[in-house]
Amino acid sequence: NAGVTQTPKFRVLKTGQSMTLLCAQDMNHEYMYWYRQDPGMGLRLIHYSVGEGTTAKGEVPDGYNVSRLKKQNFLLGLESAAPSQTSVYFCASSYPSRGYREQYFGPGTRLTVT
């Protein structure tokens, strides 16, 4: 049981390049989330999904797109990277049952855009 995994762990992009971050979970969780973490700003929600085939915008969605084609995977795409997207990105998942709800986080992807 690997929990939540993220690929890649590190990446350096040039301005204007594109990339996709992959999140995978093996806990059969319905909900999945993408956050970014910046110094002094805590965690900010980018996009999230409450089930396979569904996505919704979070607090800071501009410049990002997501897809949830399979229940276990949640992809975050940057079509044209900007230096402002330099950050640490975390994926998380949770189970919506009333007694649970806590989120399980991946180890993070450190992205630098030059």
Residue 21: partners with Cβ closer than 8 Å, 6 or more residues away: 6, 7, 8, 34, 75, 76, 77, 78, 89, 91, 109, 111
28 touches other proteins (CB under 8 A) = no
How many CB atoms are closer than 10 A to CB 48? 21
Binding other proteins (rule: CB under 8 A), the pick from 82, 101, 112, 114 is 101
89 touches other proteins (CB under 8 A) = no
Least spacing, CB of residue 73 vs other proteins, in Å:
17
33 touches other proteins (CB under 8 A) = yes
58 touches other proteins (CB under 8 A) = yes
- Beta bridge partner(s), residue 6: 23
107 touches other proteins (CB under 8 A) = yes
**Candidates 19-27, 45-53, 65-73, 77-85 — which segment interacts with other proteins by CB under 8 A?**
45-53
62 touches other proteins (CB under 8 A) = no
Reduced to 3 states (helix: H, G, I; strand: E, B; else coil), residue 85 is helix
Residues 24, 20, 18, CA angle at the centre, nearest 5°? 175
